[in-house]
């Protein structure tokens, strides 16, 4: 059983290490989601480049170096469940439809909102602990995720739901 952290430094250390492992897994997950997408806009938004996950991994690696930590290979249970759900949703690759895109989008939004929560908490902790370099890197990844979430909402409102309504 994993022992709980005793202070903020342990919280940020454990969470950054865990998030690093998770982002590496999400890199593959988002590639699968993008590959399963029907609409070009959603495919681009879900691609690893569109979500800037590689930048997040690089930033987390820099923070691990600053804190002199080794990355974990273990993700949280919620992230593992989201990865499992994404694999299920992106299955049946021959099935391309607007409804499947809506399912892909909903899954991606859940992942992004969990990531926003993690980056936001880490940013707050780094700021409180006066870890300026880490706080800046975490804020950049937080903003990337917020932008991705906003873009997915635009795709949802302007493309997917109107197309699904027309198809009915």
157 Cβ contact list (under 8 Å, min separation 6): none
pLDDT digits (tens, 9 = 90+) for 128-144: 999 999 999 999 999 99
Output the pLDDT for position 93: 66
**Band of the pLDDT at 61, cuts 50, 70, 90?**
very high
Fold of 8-167: Ferritin (1.20.1260)
Contact present, 114 and 82 (Cβ < 8 Å)? yes
Report pLDDT for 2.
65
Return the DSSP state at 158: I
User: Each residue of 80-103: pLDDT tens digit?
Assistant: 999 999 999 998 766 778 999 999
Tell me if the pTM is above 0.95: no
Task: Give the orientation angle of helix 53-66 with respect to helix 132-155, to 10 degrees.
Answer: 160
């Amino acid at each position: 059983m994993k022992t709980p952290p005793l202070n903020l430094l342990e919280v940020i250390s454990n969470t950054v290490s865990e998030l690093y492992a998770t982002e590496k897994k999400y890199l593959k997950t988002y590639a699968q989601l993008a590959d399963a997408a029907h609409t070009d806009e959603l495919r681009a938004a879900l691609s690893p480049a569109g979500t800037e996950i590689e930048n997040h991994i690089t930033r987390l690696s820099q923070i691990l170096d600053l804190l002199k930590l080794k990355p974990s290979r273990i993700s949280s249970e919620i992230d593992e469940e989201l990865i499992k759900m994404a694999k299920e949703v992106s299955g049946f690759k021959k099935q391309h439809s607007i409804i499947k895109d809506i399912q892909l989008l909903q899954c991606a939004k859940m992942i992004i909102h969990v990531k926003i929560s993690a980056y936001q908490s880490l940013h707050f902790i780094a700021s409180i602990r006066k870890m300026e370099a880490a706080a800046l890197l975490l804020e950049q990844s937080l903003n990337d995720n917020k932008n991705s979430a906003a873009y997915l909402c635009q795709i949802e409102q302007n493309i997917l739901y109107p197309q699904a309504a027309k198809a009915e």
